[in-house]
Amino acid sequence: MRTIGGHIGYGIRPSERNKGYASYLLKEALIKCKELHMGQVLVTCDEDNIGSAKVILNNGGVEDDLFITEEGQLKKRFWISVKSS
C-alpha cells in the first residue's frame, strides 16, 4: 500500500464523471480516515489521469514521487493529511 495501492480507492463510471462524485467520495473517505486517527493517507492515480489528480489536489493532496509498476505503468502518488485539529 505504501507504494501504489494507497489507503483510498474510488472509481466513477464514464457516464457519471465530471459531476462531483469523485470529490464527494474522497471528501467522505477522508472524514472517515480522520475518525480512525490515521494521520495521513496515500491516494494514487494513473499518471495520465488528469481528472483524478485534480480531485486529489483539491482535497489537500501533496504530490510525492512517481512510481513505476511491475507492468511499467506510471502512478502518481499523493499524501493527504487528516490529522485531528
- 38-75 pLDDT, tens digit per residue, is 999 999 999 999 999 999 999 999 999 999 988 999 99
Q: Which residue has the cell 485539529?
A: 85
Global pTM reads 0.90
pLDDT given at position 5: 78
C-alpha pair distances (Å), 14 with each of 19, 38, 55, 58: 11, 31, 15, 20
Q: Angle of helix 21-35 relative to helix 50-58, nearest 10 degrees?
A: 40
* Count of residues in the chain: 85
83 pLDDT exceeds 90? no
Largest alpha-carbon pair distance within the chain?
A: 40
85 pLDDT exceeds 60? no
Which domains does the chain show, CATH number per domain?
14-81 (3.40.630.30)
